Each structure stands twice: as structure tokens, then as C-alpha cells.
Structure 1
Amino acid sequence: MTDPAPRPELPDHLSVDPRSPHHVAAIFEHEIGIRFNGRERHDVEEYCISEGWIRVPAGKTVDRKGQPFMLKLKGRVEAFYK
């Protein structure tokens, strides 16, 4: 029986934006989940566990470069593999 590829450890700070210095492509090969204040969120673009915040898009609002405006929400953050 072959073992699946080992999952890398989830970092303290992670971003889905490939231009960010906190983007780790190897992690996105696996499905991850974010639990914020006890509820699972599916719209998280960036998180930091030690500082206790997530960034989520503010609806359909975009800036002048076409990137979505991001809201920073503070609370308890947990990252996990699904």
C-alpha cells in the first residue's frame, strides 16, 4: 500500500495570493480549512494565527487595480487540513 504525499505543516501566516511573501504553493496542493471564532469560513484570503486575524473580501468592491478590498477581522483562528 502506498502512503499519500506527506502534508506540510501549516504555517502561522498564510496567504492565497501568489504575489504575497506568505504564499506557500505546496500547502495549496491539499485542501485546507479555516475556523474563525468556532465557525468554518470559506472566504478567507489570508490568516495569521498568532496575531488572531483573517482577511476576507468586502463583497464585490474592488480597488483601482481590480483587486478586491479586504476586511481584517480579529478573533480566534484555527487552520486545519480537511
Structure 2
Amino acid sequence: MSDTPPDRLALDPRSPYHDAAVIERGVGVRFNGQERDNVEEYSVSEGWIRVQVGRSRDRRGNPMTIKVKGTVEPYFIEPA
């Protein structure tokens, strides 16, 4: 496995961008210079993250999300 996180990653197992091995290793996201821990999906090349909107759910029971544009910097979380 490489030392750089993938360009696009999603937490939802139904997504084609879901990678369980990478998520298990631990990926952190720095968005516009701030650490974010509520990121559902990100894309470095397109410059956006998808975050959950409160506790709202859609009609299928999935969390409601919004896409926020900015600078995305993913990194692997080092084990303590």
C-alpha cells in the first residue's frame, strides 16, 4: 500500500470509491487548513468534501449531506 491516500474516498460501502482497507488504516482530512472529522466523502482533484447536515435523514434513512468546495488535504493517521 502506498503512503499517499487515494484521490477520492467514500465511507459508504455502496459507493464505487469505498476502500475498506484504506479506511481501516485511518485517513484524516484537512479542509481549508482545518482538521475535519465529519467527512463522508472527499475528492482532492475536484476540490470538495461531502459532510453530514445535522441529524437529518433522507427517505431511505441515509444521512443528508452537502458538498463543500475548497482545498482538500488527506493524510494517513499515524498509530499512537
With normalisation by structure 1, the TM-score equals 0.88
Structure 1 residue ranges, 4+ long, deviating more than 6 angstroms after superposition: none
Which letter maps to 1:37? N
Distance 1:61 1:40 in 2: 23
SS, match of residue 27 in structure 1:
helix
Superposed displacement of residue 19, structure 1? 0.4
- Do 2:27 and 2:76's aligned partners in 1 also have CA atoms closer than 8 Å? yes
Alpha-carbon RMSD: 1.3
How big is each residue's C-alpha offset from its partner over 1:40-61, in whole Å with a ceiling of 9 and x where there is no partner?
0000000000000000000011
Q: How does 1:6-21 map to 2 (within 5 A)?
A: 9-21=4-16
Superposed displacement of residue 17, structure 1? 0.4
Larger radius of gyration: 1
Superposed displacement of residue 7, structure 1? 5.4
Pairing partner for 2:53 from 58, 62, 66: 58
In structure 2, stretches of 5+ residues that fail to align are none
Aligned length: 77
- Do 2:31 and 2:73's aligned partners in 1 also have CA atoms closer than 8 Å? yes
With normalisation by structure 2, the TM-score equals 0.90
Distance 1:47 1:67 in 2: 17
In structure 1, stretches of 5+ residues that fail to align are 1-5
Which letter maps to 1:71? I
Seq. identity, %: 52
